[in-house]
Structure 1
Amino acid sequence: MTEPHNPPGGHPAGRWSDLERPPLGPRALRRGLILPGGLWTSLDVVEATGSTNTDLAARAAAGAAEGAVLVAEEQTAGRGRLDRRWSAPARSGIFFSVLLRPGPGVPAERLGWLPLLTGVAVATGLARAAGVDTSLKWPNDLLVTVDGEERKAGGILAERAGADAVVVGVGLNVSLRADELPVPTAGSLALANAVSLDRETLLRAVLRSLERWYGLWREAGGDPVASRLQETYAAGCATLGRRVRAELPGGRELVGEAVAVDGDGRLVVETDDGGRHPVGAGDIVHVRGA
């Protein structure tokens, strides 16, 4: 249950009167997530902001502790990979960022696993809380099935914030209806027939799952094999086994079958001549099924 919420000054009451999309209750979220010895150390909910990643990166630069969580009811200038912009109706999804400081025990070259780890955490959390089978499109898209088709319902963006911090942002469409989708190929948990659209329940499940996976990964020194992150990601990755087109920096393209995710989190594409090429950056397009 969400807590009573008084309409903030400066906004018409109607903006907060949609009973299908009640506001989040930060006090209840803090009680359930900020626990002694746990990862999460603070949790703030703001009405609206341009980008939770940008805001939390500023807090990181000011010395914020690891485990800070910033949630926005509405994100007006959310950023995806390659600095793409997107927005969604207020309280129609889960938009949050977390501050992580893996420390000297995790080599810098393993930080590239953080967006993949977050994808695994979100997918496993949603499987429990929403009853939705969420698959992962390398490197950072969250896919659900709507009317037999794969649709993008969310995304992940990890950014370095100073020498020792990483801010990871997640955007997930929860209650968006078909007429509210930013593009016809997008999806939402509602359109995927989720058993729960309660955003507090979903957010708690996702953050608890993220705490668990991050703990396993950090205890293993960021090793994706020892933490079982690599095998779990591969098992849930919709890109593997598919014919793909990799649109690489500099306007280059690579077409072939996605055959593996290597130890650095890169997608390995096997071209028709048998060559194997690790892709660490770029857009991946699913050309057709395996």
Structure 2
Amino acid sequence: MRLDVIVPTYNRHEMLKRTLDSLLAAEVPTGLEVRVTVVDNNSNDRTRQTVEEWMGRFGGRLNYVFEAQQGRSPALNAGIRATEGDLVGMIDDDEEVDGRWFECVQRAFGDGGVDFIGGRCLPRWGAEHPAWLPRDYPGVIGWIDSGDEVLPYDENYPGILMGGNAVLRRSVLEKVGLYATSLSRNSKRLLSGEDQDMYQRLLESGARGLYLPDLIIHHYVPPERLTKRYFRRWCFWNGVSHGLIERERRTPVAYLLGVPRYLYGRAARGMLKVARGALSREDRAISRASSTASIFTGRRAERKV
């Protein structure tokens, strides 16, 4: 069984070193062949030199691919096209895999009954965890933890498969297609819809997926992502992302001016809660309510994207 791990990266050569070191340190079980492909997404730092310096440590198991089209989806797609393994793994350049990550992959796909897996993304804080961050918005900073039990990815799963910690059978990717480049995040747009779109296509195809609590990566959360400004910006682009997805997948609800009608009431209630929260200094309430307003604004703005 061969696993190709794809690492898209853009101008993070120092963090990339930690990612590559973690892949080197993780134990590879007998019977699993692992190769790593770093996709340089048009970086202008020392990304290429870093990969070339690490190639000797990997003993021929590390490859470099350049992708000029900016965005996470084009980078992932370039990595998928450049590899041939029957399993395709994906992590980000600000992550480190757990020492038993490869063992978990081999166990999951050993019996042939699973098509894709995901797991925990645990934060490695670059600054103190802010008290105002709503507990039901951990995805803003890439914090994914659905508990200690194995769960099926289906309509009851509390989230989606996140591409920062995922492994899929290549045969499934060939069936559902590559990542949607129109929904891709880049240095200018904080879109976040490519994972949602891929997840929906996987479920619609009948593919069987599992959330595995032992499939763990550690995700660095820089101080600039622990600000209310970033939180509001993420929520805005989350609204844009969902609007773009609904262009192709219309939700069966009433619409007003291109936006689901229920969002108008939700946004109004959110702004009222912002005002009440400001008076009572309830930071968490303000954050949750302002996120609703930001998502609504993003949905309205989506029509201009």
TM-score normalised to structure 1 length = 0.31
Q: Which has the higher strand share?
A: 1
Relative contact order, higher structure (CA 8 A, sep 6+): 2
Give 1 or 2: higher helix fraction: 2
Rg larger for: 2
- Structure-2-length-normalised TM-score: 0.30
